[in-house]
Amino acid sequence: MAANPPKIKTAINSNERLKNLKTTFETKYGESPLFYACAPGRVNLIGEHIDYCGYSVLPMAIEQNILAAVSVNSSGMIQLANTNPQYQDFKQSCSEEIIIDSDNPKWYYYFLCGVKGIQERFGITRLAGMSCVIDGTIPPSSGLSSSSALVCCSGLLTMEANQKSLSKVSLAEICAKCERYIGTEGGGMDQSISFLAEKGTAKLIEFQPLRATDVKLPEGPVFVISNCCKEMNKAASSHYNIRVVECRIATKILAQARGLDSSGLLKLAQVQTELKASLEEMLTLVDEVLHPEPYSREEVCKTLCITLEQLSTDLLSSNTQDVTHFKLHQRAKHVYGEAARVMTFKSVCDSGPVESMQLLGELMNQSHASCRDLYECSCPELDQLVDICLKSGAVGSRLTGAGWGGCAVSMVPSEKVESFLQAVREAYFLPDPRRAAMEKQSLFVSKPGGGAAVFLEE
């Protein structure tokens, strides 16, 4: 369990992508890479917006990843380039403090988060000079975790370049924490699966302590990812953090209503643990304590006996200071319901009855409905796409990742995959020229991929 990410000896020239990256690197910097590092994106099968509430999630890594070629040198600089010309070069001196301006997200800030995380973990005063070229295959802003994969890849290569060693679990924890420098208060699912994934299996990711358990998916179906083509950059809007904050406030109010000392409690799962209650009981508690009408700031303060100032400093994040209303009942209902669906999904996979495909599909559909109606993290395009996927032969379909755009994941019986892809293509992609142009990288079958790794020239 305390394993480190693998270091794999590879014939670089026999792998087309590595070979091209090596050439790009040599042309750019006039030297050869010393090593390569990669970190995969992910698709979350079920368990949305509950990791930051302390609940387990069930993702798998995808084949698409962030790959970096790296040299360690005496330039005294960190130099960065991307094979995609849309992303500009960046460099800074190793002795300069790393500054991440969360008001103005830039692609290389995700890289700097990883560098900073490792620097802080080891208290490194002077980082090794390094030159990197990044090559990404995860569609950005699509809910497949391209940004966390970049943070993880950067954390891994910075560790390697500075001759340090860490387990996958430690790397996942460091990268989850340091990505928060960007300003989003993510829960840790993306970084955990990026490091802890193993080829051929989905994982149940549990937090505190962080661990990953294999989930054997049934033989019959495959998982198909489809992008609704509406981009969602969670760092550029406050939707995500508003949900985090609503869950925090709901935690405090539920805890207080049951006479708990709520001072150390910030996550909905902690209330359940303290009360030693079942998820069913938590759902009942939500109905008893919270009302469906949105709570004003004043009502929150009055209920919790706190001042507006305490609300703003103790519970709100910097980009949610202006939020005036909080939907606490709906958000808490989603979280406890979704946490229960994850556990049912896992136990159905473990017991593997003949009818499991249908059951898993239903859980995915319920998850989507809850994300759409209670958590309000879907969008019309995603709802339409999920609908089309179900009509095209999927037994279950739901948004995946943060939502408000990006991808859906559908469970499709293997024998129907070709007709499914064709039907979705015709109904969702081809009628719209912009979507049609993006179709190739926006509709694909995905199998559970492996986790982050370092490659060395053989």
Indicate which residues carry an active-site annotation: 190
For 259, the token pair is 């006479």
Number of residues that bind ligand GLA (CB under 6 A): 14
Binder of ligand GLA out of 5, 18, 45, 48 (CB under 6 A)? 48
- In this complex, which beta carbon is closest to ligand GLA, that of residue 129 or of residue 140? 140
The least distance separating ligand GLA from the CB of residue 286, rounded to whole angstroms, comes to 19
Map the footprint of ligand GLA across residues 147-176, applying CB under 6 A.
148
Q: Is 178 in the site for ligand GLA (CB under 6 A)?
A: no
CA angle centred on 368, ends 56 and 417, rounded to 5° = 100
Least separation in angstroms between residue 146's CB and ligand GLA is 10
Min separation Cβ 458 and ligand GLA, Å: 35
Q: How far is the CB of 401 from ligand GLA (least distance, A)?
A: 5
Nearer to ligand GLA, 130 or 408 (CB): 408
Considering only 135, 160, 173, 190, the residue that binds ligand GLA (CB under 6 A) is: 190
Are 412 and 383 spatial neighbours (Cβ–Cβ below 8 Å)?
Answer: no
Task: Name which position in 5, 29, 36, 49 contacts ligand GLA (CB under 6 A).
Answer: 49
Question: Which token pair is 315?
Answer: 């519970």
By beta-carbon proximity to ligand GLA, the closer residue of 29 and 52 is: 52
Stretch that binds ligand GLA, among 27-35, 61-69, 188-196, 282-290 (CB under 6 A): 188-196
Q: With beta carbons less than 8 A apart as the criterion, state whether 217 and 349 touch.
A: yes
Matching residue, tokens 């979705």: 424
In 3-state terms the chain splits into helix, strand, coil percentages (rounded to 5) of 45, 20, 35
- Sheet strands side by side (includes 407-413): 396-399, 407-413, 221-227, 443-446
Pairing of strands 7-10, 453-457: parallel
Of the two residues 31 and 373, which places its CB atom closer to ligand GLA in the complex?
373
Contact track, ligand GLA, 107-146, x by CB under 6 A: --------------------------------------x-
Residue 220: helix, strand or coil by DSSP?
Answer: coil
- Show the binding pattern over residues 403-422: x = contacts ligand GLA (CB under 6 A), - = does not: --------------------
Token pair recorded at residue 114: 């990883």
Contact with ligand GLA (CB under 6 A) among 40, 117, 155, 186: 186
- 402 near ligand GLA (CB under 6 A): yes
How far lies 357's CA from each of 48, 350, 387, 410, in Å?
20, 12, 18, 12
**Of 74-82, 90-98, 183-191, 210-218, which segment contacts ligand GLA by CB under 6 A?**
183-191
Identity of the residue, 52 or 295, whose beta carbon is nearer to ligand GLA in the bound complex: 52
The residue to which tokens 């690197």 are assigned? 25
154 alpha carbon, distance to own chain's centre: 16
DSSP per-residue string spanning 304-349: HT--HHHIIIII--GGGTT--EE-HHHHHHHHHHHHHHHHHHHHHH
Contact between 187 and ligand GLA (CB under 6 A)?
Answer: yes
Shortest gap between Cβ of 339 and ligand GLA (angstroms)? 12
Inter-residue contact 28 to 445 (CB < 8 Å) = no
Q: How far is the CB of 302 from ligand GLA (least distance, A)?
A: 30
Q: Which is nearer to ligand GLA, 25 or 404 (CB)?
A: 404
- DSSP letter at 141 equals T
Helix (H, G, I), strand (E, B) or coil at 19: helix
Interface residue list for ligand GLA (CB under 6 A): 44, 48-49, 51-52, 145, 148, 186-190, 401-402
